[in-house]
A and B are shown apart, each in its own frame.
Chain A
Amino acid sequence: MKHGSLEVIESGFLTTYQDLGRRMHRALGLPRGGAMDARTLTLLNLLLRNERGATGIEFCQRGPTLKFKDEAVVSVGGDLCPTVDGEKRRAWSRMMVKAGQVLKCGSLRSGSWGYLCIQGGFSVEDFYGSTSIHPHLELGGGTGKPLVEGDELFFQPSENALSSLSLSPDLWGQNDDHTYRCLSGPQMDWFSASTHEQFYSTPYKISVTSSRVGYRLEGAPLSRKKSFQKKELTSEGVSVGTVQITNEGQPIILAADAQSIGGYPKLAQVISTDLERLVQRPAGSEVRFQQVTHEEALQRRQEQEREYTQLEMVLSLGEEY
């Protein structure tokens, strides 16, 4: 089937292709990549009855304006007021855009990362298991660089007609107590009980230097035990959500485009369901952490999985009537 296309009229900010990231190839030194807020991307894809990881577009604060050459059904999320040919539409809804019409995503009223998904997903050449663009490496899907004015984007049009439907914005879970659950990290014994207490009871502020690579936090220094002051950690694997502590005692939370190997001690690990919320907080916001057990972390993950599966089922049933 011929691809549909659309043109970028205005690029927005840090607008990149994102899917759910790559699961392999860390041995090449490639980052996991994928949407910072995988939950929003997944919900929008489910709404459009796409594969959960169908390639969408992510942007930071300011979304793109796109002129559609071919008809398509799209949806955008989070807190946006999109328009089609100037007419107001709703975020979290299936929006039919006709050939020749212009979709303006607009700017997020809250949150840091916004998403646009298209029925059928964007057609982008896979780069070692993902279509994700890693802006700091200039590698990944398409040119490896964020989208710019004039770019032509392609998508696979679908034969399946979709009824008009929208998700409640509450589904995303805007009610955020600003506390994020963590598991203990492998180097937790480098830090004293009082340092642990400090990490799990005092607020930290998200620094403006935060990015897709990592979120730097500022706050009361987290110092090591005396016997570990001069210790150097031999580089070893890290993970998205890993909380590293710098030599100045400041936390860095590794995000989607983080490197695969690190040499800073790892105090904790933010659980994936909570990291997706944390990264939506703007620079200057305060975050707090709460320690949980592995059982609790797994339960939370399984809960989210059930939620996705149920939504999938409800939406597929909806189409049969």
Chain B
Amino acid sequence: MRYDRLGESAVILKDEALQDPLSVFTYGVERLRQHPIDGIEDALPCYDSLTVYYNPLKISYESMVEALTQVFSEEDKRCDLPERKRHQIPVCYDAACAPDLESVAAFSGLSVQDVISLHTEGEYRVAGIGFTPGFGFLSGLNHKLNCPRKDRPRKSVPVGAVGIAGRQTGVYPSASSGGWNLIGQTPVEMVNFSLADPLLLSVGDAVEFYEISYGEFTEWKK
């Protein structure tokens, strides 16, 4: 396990030897939640890394690494994770909801229909939550759909916009700025802080997209 310090109060963990780092790290986060270590404040899994945040006045870096090494010992790597949720997210790929779909198709040398098929056939996993509250970074995008993010990010994307960039896809939970290519839009709410469980997605969850028509999209939104 490699430990890269991120300033005085955080460290990024990575282990290239791990087959499934996301599972190992989400397991570690659960372990830390159940058996908190005094001084360790937060742990954030994302793709193949885990960033641990701590208070250097309460725990020394060396003690913390020792404690984390214990959490991630051989024994633990083989444990099972709790059951993760599976989500099926409806997406409208109609031109009105997908301003960049044509340019993505052109870039990939595919038809618009092919892009939609490849996107809906994918089996994705939530690899991290960040960027904005509730924004889930999904891994598992078909490599044929790889495309660079936009040169000029939009100042504001529609709520529920579905984007792709590089090897990632995701849904914008709010009208934030956004640099990803927008290929669809979902009527489903991704975040709602008035609920006890505010986020639809959690790290490790499985996600699939399915196509709905523009009519169904507008009906759903009502």
Task: Give how many B residues have a beta carbon under 8 Å from the other chain's beta carbons.
Answer: 41
1/0 per position for B134-170, CB-CB distance to A under 8 A?
Answer: 1101000000000000000000000000000010100
Q: Are B49 and A236 interface neighbours, CB within 8 A? A: yes
Contact of B42 among A24, A186, A241, A294 (CB under 8 A): A24
Instruction: Enumerate chain A residues within 8 angstroms of B6, measured Cβ to Cβ.
Output: 185-186, 237-239, 242, 266, 269
Q: Are A294 and B61 interface neighbours, CB within 8 A? A: yes
**Would you list which residues of chain A between 231 and 277 have a CB under 8 Å from chain B?**
232, 234-239, 241-242, 259-261, 266, 269-272
Q: Are B9 and A261 interface neighbours, CB within 8 A? A: no
Q: Judge whether A98 is part of the interface by a CB distance below 8 angstroms.
A: no
Task: Give how many A residues have a beta carbon under 8 Å from the other chain's beta carbons.
Answer: 37
**Would you list which residues of chain A between 124 and 147 have a CB under 8 Å from chain B?**
127, 137, 139
**Would you list which residues of chain B between 42 and 56 have a CB under 8 Å from chain A?**
42, 44-51, 53, 55-56
Q: Are B48 and A261 interface neighbours, CB within 8 A? A: no
Contact of B12 among A236, A270, A294 (CB under 8 A): A236
Q: Are B130 and A261 interface neighbours, CB within 8 A? A: yes
**Given contacts A236-B12, A237-B46, A261-B130, A29 and B135 within 8 Å (CB-CB):** yes
Instruction: Enumerate chain A residues within 8 angstroms of B166, measured Cβ to Cβ.
Output: 232
**B154: min CB distance to chain A, Å:** 15
Q: Are B133 and A29 interface neighbours, CB within 8 A? A: yes
Q: Judge whether A27 is part of the interface by a CB distance below 8 angstroms.
A: yes
Q: Judge whether B91 is part of the interface by a CB distance below 8 angstroms.
A: no
**Given contacts A28-B129, A242-B6, A266-B6, A236 and B53 within 8 Å (CB-CB):** no
CB-based nearest A residue for B50: A237
Q: Are A237 and B51 interface neighbours, CB within 8 A? A: yes
Given contacts A272-B9, A301-B56, 5 further A-B contacts (CB under 8 A): A25-B42, A235-B47, A259-B132, A261-B137, A298-B8
